[in-house]
C-alpha cells in the first residue's frame, strides 16, 4: 500500500529517471543508447496527450513505437529492459508489455 503512494516512479518520466539511475550504475555502457530511445519514447507518449502514468502505457502503443523506430532492434532491447525493470519494481502489473517485446 505504501509503495502505491509513491508518485514519482509511477509517472513515465519518473520511472525513466529511476531506471536510468539503475542502468548507469549497473550497465553504464548501455545508458546513452537506451537513454536516447527511452527519452524519445516518453516524449512521444506525452506529446500525444497521454497521461504521465507508466501503467497507462498500452501494448499497442509500444508496438507502434518500435515499428516506427529507426533501429527497431535497439528500440525493442531498450524498452524490454525498461519494462522488465518496471515489472520487477511493481510499477506495471502484467507481463503484457514484455510479451509484446519478445
Partner 1 sequence: MTIREERESRASIWHELLERKISRRAVLAGAAAGAAAALPLDLRTAAAAPLGAPRAQGKLPFSPINPSSADAIVLPRGFRYDLLAHRGHDMGDGSLFGDNADFTAFFPLDLLQKGVDKNAVHRGFLRSDLSSTDGLLVVNHEYFNPMFLTGYAGGPKSDEQRAAEQHMVGLSVIRVKRGKDGRWFFDQSDAAHNRRIDARTPILLTGPAAGIDGGPWVSGTLGNCSGGATPWGTALSCEENFQDYPAAAPEGYGWDPAVYGRRHYGWVVEVDPFDKSSTPRKHTAMGRFRHENVAIRVGKDGSVVAYMGDDKADSCVYKFVADRKLTDLADRPGNMAILESGRLYAADFGAGKWILLDYDSQEALRAAVDGKGAPLFASQADVLADARAAALVLKATPVDRPEDIEVHPLDGSVYVALTNNTGHGNYHGQIVRLVEKDGNPAAASFEWGVFAVGGPQSGFSSPDNLVFDGDGNLWMVTDISSSRVGKGIYSFQGNNGMFFFRTSGPDAGVAYQFLSAPVEAELTGPTWSPDGQTLFLSVQHPGEESKSISELSSHWPIGGREIPRSGVIAITGFPRKK
Binding residues for partner 1 (CB under 8 A):
1-2, 4-11, 13-18, 20-22, 24-29, 31-33, 35, 39, 52, 81, 84-85, 88
Measured at the CA of 39, the angle between CA 77 and CA 78, to 5 degrees, comes to 5
Classify residue 21 by its DSSP letter: H
Give the nearest distance from C-beta 19 to partner 1 in angstroms. 10
Closer of 63 and 90 to partner 1 (Cβ): 90
Instruction: Return the number of the residue (8 or 63) whose C-beta is nearest partner 1.
Output: 8
CB 45 within 8 A of CB 51: no
Which residues touch 90 (CB under 8 Å, ≥6 apart)? 3
User: Least Å distance between CB 44 and partner 1?
Assistant: 15
Amino acid at each position: 500500500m505504501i509503495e502505491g503512494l509513491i508518485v514519482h516512479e509511477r509517472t513515465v518520466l519518473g520511472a525513466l529517471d529511476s531506471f536510468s539511475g539503475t542502468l548507469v550504475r549497473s550497465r553504464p555502457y548501455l545508458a546513452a543508447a537506451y537513454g536516447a530511445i527511452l527519452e524519445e519514447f516518453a516524449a512521444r507518449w506525452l506529446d500525444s496527450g497521454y497521461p504521465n502514468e507508466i501503467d497507462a502505457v498500452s501494448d499497442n502503443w509500444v508496438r507502434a513505437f518500435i515499428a516506427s523506430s529507426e533501429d527497431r532492434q535497439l528500440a525493442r532491447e531498450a524498452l524490454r529492459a525498461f519494462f522488465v525493470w518496471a515489472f520487477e519494481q511493481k510499477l506495471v502489473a502484467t507481463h503484457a508489455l514484455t510479451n509484446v517485446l519478445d
